[in-house]
Structure 1
Amino acid sequence: DGAKTYKVTLPKGVPAKDFWSLVAYDTQTRSELQTPDQAFPSINSKVAKLNYNKDGSVDIYFGPKAPKGFEQNWIQTLPNKSWFVAIRFYGPLKPFYDKTWKPGEIELIK
């Protein structure tokens, strides 16, 4: 539900040699969401100046409005539009293949 706000936590040490990205897609068109405030509904670790948690993990938010203080960790969604997210690893490392690193679950923010 694009009207609600969600969060996913990526634990420290995302297993990507080059960089990683998260992209929001429209469930009907299977193309990137078309949003008014973001030309590309995505975040990548190479370009974004993300706010990391003290333990080295990073929280990424999805919702129609950016949570205050986490604008750079936000991907916009649209009310009345369903979406899904893909995580990509560029230069995936061993913890990706042996599944010792896993992203958190996508959680609804209340």
Structure 2
Amino acid sequence: MSGTVHTEPDGTIDLWFGPSAPAGKEANWIRTVPAKSWFPMLRLYGPLQPWFDKQWQPGELHEVSPEA
């Protein structure tokens, strides 16, 4: 939302979820509340034809260690 999200060299965007930001990942970090459940939700505004043709879908979420 701040317009400062970092894009990876291959064009992807890594998002980090947790109660505190990993070092160097602050621009792509989304705060969660410790000991509370949460779930990701994707909202598409004006999806392109590959979405409707089911040729594109978002990637999976992967858990990483805090040191990553």
TM bracket (short chain): 0.7 to 0.9
Gaps of 5+ in 1: 1-43
Instruction: Tell me which residue corresponds to 1:106.
Output: 61
1:6-85 pair list within 5 angstroms: 44=1, 47-85=2-40
Query: Aligned residues, how many?
Result: 65
Aligned Cα RMSD in Å? 1.3
Shift of 1:48: 2.5
Instruction: Tell me which residue corresponds to 2:44.
Output: 89
State, as a whole percentage, how many aligned pairs show the same letter.
48
Structure with the larger strand share: 1
Report the 3-state secondary structure (helix = DSSP H, G, I; strand = E; otherwise coil) of the residue aligned with 2:14.
strand
Cα deviation digits, residues 13-68 of structure 1 (max 9, x gap): xxxxxxxxxxxxxxxxxxxxxxxxxxxxxxx5xx5221111110110111111112
**TM-score, normalising length from structure 1?**
0.54
Gaps of 5+ in 2: none
